[in-house]
Structure 1
Amino acid sequence: MRKKIYITCLHLNHGGVEMAITLLANALVKYNYEVEILCTYNFGSPVYPLNKEVKVRYLTDVLPNRESFYAALHSKNPFRICSEGFHALKTLYLKKHCLAKAISNIHNGTIISTRNEDTVILSKYGNANVKKIAQLHHDHKFDKHLIRDFQKKYSNIDYFVLLTETLRSEISDMMKPFNQKTKCITIPNFIDLPADTKFPQKSKQVVSVGRLHTDKGFDRLIDAWSIVHAIHPDWKLKIIGDGPLSDALHTYSEKHSLTNSIIFTGALSHELTMQEMMTSSVYAMTSISEAFPFVLLEAMENYLPIVAYDVRVGPKALIQPEKNGYLIPDGDSHAFAAAICKLIENPSLLREFQMNSFSCVHSFSQETVMKKWIEILN
């Protein structure tokens, strides 16, 4: 009889966490586990390919209305505000209640939670005979609320899986005086590498992918690109993604006279995003914060050297400076631009970094990382 594993998930739409969940679920099936995803919201068919043996159980029939609620507040229409506010409260209640109910009805197997909110519920309602594993897919950034939850509300969690050794060490020290049960371990995300990959045809293009949100720092990328463009006007920057800052970033690009140099594609399918990566020459990341950027694994898979700001955690777990990319002091746009220009101006160095990037990604293959998962699952 196959062992049963449940994985909590907010939704199966676009996102690095959602891709990581999908890959883990697919891999567990290959290792002969029975897998069920406990998914809060149903936005339609899963964006990323999901093994047909993976069962998805949608826990609610409501969808979040954050944007509609903010629009109602802006309208100052009392009826509209009350209507959207009631829907928001109902959604929040069902989100927690339905997951708690689902977890309390599971009496054996393993449950893997993938968000802090889910882990708090798992610790509180998970049955004694169930193995309870928590994950954190982002940097805690010393947030007092998160730290308090780690210390006070994870007492029944067996394993706490962190993406980098830095996060594991920090969180383990935070928890020790309060929780002697939970074992903090490091397991990075992995990527399902194709069996045979040939070096693709590259173009004079730098690419960056992400939600157009403050956290991703695309305004900082535009600042750096204005310097690159002045030196290499024949190169293009392609920004893939959509989000609340779309209009503002278009305006900021126009302000820097980069309308013809920066291409905003909007949101693309995963397949088209990978095609764009394949034909690009360099990947740029200017995020304000990261944890373990899944998109960098995909960039490395597509022979892309990476230029990234050396934020607190994240890029440094994947970039080997002077080998497959450059870690730039956070916020130094001139150094960031100089690193891109160095690669552009040295074709042999660029090719060397591209090959190294593909070589380095094998450390994060499914086969390598799943060995660590199997250890704690068995």
Structure 2
Amino acid sequence: MSKKIYITALHLLHGGVEMSISLIANALVEKGYEVEILCSYNLGEPSYSIDPKVKITYLTDLKPNKDEFKAAVKEKNIINILKEGLYSVRVLREKKSSMAKAIKNIENGTILSTRNEHSVLLSKYGKEQVNKVAQLHHDHKFDGNLIKDFQNNYSNIDYFVLLTELLRDEVEEMLKGHNDKTKCLCIPNFLEEEEIENLHKEKQVVAVGRLHSVKGFDRLIDIWAIASKECPEWKLKIIGGGEEEASIKGKINELDLNNSVELTGMLNHEETMKEMSKSGVFAMTSHSEGFPFVLIEALMCSTPIVAFDVRVGPRAIIEDGKDGYLIPDKELEQYANQLIKLIKDENLRDELSKNAKVKSKEFMKDKILEKWIEIL
């Protein structure tokens, strides 16, 4: 088998999928593989460090225009709606055709697809002698279209890599009677081990993520409205930016929490890790997740976690009662009570903090990379 690895990408800006692509590309070139990222859009310098030995090939010169199209619709400008609509169709057509062409032209090695749309193209156009590996970086949520693709449009995929054992077992069941070729595997995300400065833990709860409805920051504010009454000396710091910023600020004002909640906006990696390292607790209130890097980073920073036990994600990382707590989804009062208990019990925080650091070792590069090498 050729040691050439191709990894598909939509873009290389900020995001969990993009972080995963960067990490695995860097790790594989270290192991002597020749790695090329096939990227649909060139939206600027990659957000994450990529080894100079990794080749990046941008497949189109076009850029998505979702914001421009939305603006035209909002302004009810018919000419601009037509103009941006036609351009959008061109972008989408080129995005698909350029990736299909790139896959068709690969004669050997391994192609690792990182999105469902790419996996469908890989199954359809990937050469027989090419090792074809698909990934799913999020919860399928039993979406009918996704399941239909798994069953009918992955028949030429050799390996299907899922982030958790639950997802692997579910997809294996979905494929029965439809696809006997594809082997489902569980390989979680990994991180490079870092030297984390051992900062004094402050009276601070930290949360990190896109300010998007799926991340549930609105319910974190509701939870904090309860917790802050019991723990007035503590602060909540939310790191991230996004479309929900205005509504979250509005909720903070409405609940009179301006003195105890801070929205920092986007911070770079070093600043984010510093904030997590000095925080007493990490809070996650997402409605859904895949395999969140940020939870592994919190463990690396010796910061115990409180998270909703949504279908996929947190339970694959957190051991309830040992390095954090898993709260039944939507139980905001129970979440607030557990957060208050953790805040008030310094000895408990210290115990979970030590366990968190140990747990983080399970998700470091060398251990997880062995699983990738097996299928390459």
Q: TM > 0.5 between the two? A: yes
Letter in 1 for 2:300: E
**For the residues of structure 1 that align with 2:268 and 2:90, how far apart are their CA atoms?**
31
The residue number in structure 1 matching 2:199 is 200
The residue number in structure 1 matching 2:320 is 321
Q: How many residues of Structure 1 are paired with residues of Structure 2 in the alignment?
A: 376
State the Cα deviation string for residues 97-150 of structure 1 (Å, max 9, x = none).
Answer: 110111111101000000000000111111111100000000000000000000
Contact 1:285–1:308 under 8 Å retained in 2: yes
The residue number in structure 1 matching 2:289 is 290
Distance apart, 1:232 and its partner CA: 1.1
Distance apart, 1:74 and its partner CA: 1.2
- Which 10-residue stretch deviates more, 269-278 or 56-65? 269-278
**For the residues of structure 1 that align with 2:218 and 2:197, how far apart are their CA atoms?**
34
State the Cα deviation string for residues 28-61 of structure 1 (Å, max 9, x = none).
Answer: 0111101011111112111111111111111111
Q: Does 1:135 align with 2:156?
A: no
Q: Does 1:99 align with 2:99?
A: yes
The residue number in structure 1 matching 2:253 is 254
- Which 10-residue stretch deviates more, 182-191 or 36-45? 36-45
The residue number in structure 1 matching 2:218 is 219
The residue number in structure 2 matching 1:274 is 273
- In the TM superposition, what are the counterparts of 1:123-272 in structure 2 within 5 Å? 123-194=123-194, 196-197=195-196, 199-272=198-271
State the Cα deviation string for residues 287-326 of structure 1 (Å, max 9, x = none).
Answer: 1111211111111111111100011111000110110000
The residue number in structure 2 matching 1:305 is 304
- Which 10-residue stretch deviates more, 164-173 or 270-279? 270-279
**For the residues of structure 2 that align with 1:277 and 1:188, how far apart are their CA atoms?**
22
SS of equivalent residue, structure 2 residue 22: helix
Distance apart, 1:271 and its partner CA: 2.3
SS of equivalent residue, structure 1 residue 281: strand
**For the residues of structure 2 that align with 1:293 and 1:175, how far apart are their CA atoms?**
26
Distance apart, 1:270 and its partner CA: 2.0
Distance apart, 1:185 and its partner CA: 0.5
Letter in 2 for 1:288: H
Identity over aligned residues, as a percent?
55
**For the residues of structure 1 that align with 2:65 and 2:265, how far apart are their CA atoms?**
22
Contact 1:2–1:34 under 8 Å retained in 2: no
SS of equivalent residue, structure 1 residue 49: coil
The residue number in structure 2 matching 1:6 is 6
Distance apart, 1:16 and its partner CA: 1.1
**For the residues of structure 2 that align with 1:269 and 1:13, how far apart are their CA atoms?**
13
Contact 1:308–1:327 under 8 Å retained in 2: yes
Contact 2:2–2:110 under 8 Å retained in 1: no
SS of equivalent residue, structure 1 residue 7: strand
Contact 1:40–1:99 under 8 Å retained in 2: yes
State the Cα deviation string for residues 55-94 of structure 1 (Å, max 9, x = none).
Answer: 1111111111112211111111100101111121111111
SS of equivalent residue, structure 1 residue 204: strand
Contact 1:2–1:32 under 8 Å retained in 2: no
Distance apart, 1:8 and its partner CA: 0.5
The residue number in structure 1 matching 2:343 is 344
Contact 2:196–2:277 under 8 Å retained in 1: no
The residue number in structure 2 matching 1:87 is 87
Q: What are the ranges of 5 or more consecutive residues in structure 2 without an aligned counterpart?
A: none
- Which 10-residue stretch deviates more, 268-277 or 284-293? 268-277
Contact 1:281–1:305 under 8 Å retained in 2: yes
- Which 10-residue stretch deviates more, 54-63 or 111-120? 54-63
**For the residues of structure 2 that align with 1:74 and 1:133, how far apart are their CA atoms?**
41
SS of equivalent residue, structure 2 residue 107: coil
Contact 2:203–2:233 under 8 Å retained in 1: yes
Q: TM-score, normalised by structure 1?
A: 0.97
Contact 1:218–1:249 under 8 Å retained in 2: yes
SS of equivalent residue, structure 1 residue 336: helix
SS of equivalent residue, structure 1 residue 311: coil
The residue number in structure 2 matching 1:22 is 22
**For the residues of structure 1 that align with 2:76 and 2:252, how far apart are their CA atoms?**
32
**For the residues of structure 1 that align with 2:102 and 2:31, how far apart are their CA atoms?**
25
Contact 1:140–1:146 under 8 Å retained in 2: yes
State the Cα deviation string for residues 5-27 of structure 1 (Å, max 9, x = none).
Answer: 00001111111111111111111
**For the residues of structure 2 that align with 1:2 and 1:113, how far apart are their CA atoms?**
17
- Which 10-residue stretch deviates more, 21-30 or 267-276? 267-276
**For the residues of structure 1 that align with 2:179 and 2:253, how far apart are their CA atoms?**
53
SS of equivalent residue, structure 1 residue 161: strand
Letter in 2 for 1:217: G
**For the residues of structure 2 that align with 1:262 and 1:371, how far apart are their CA atoms?**
42
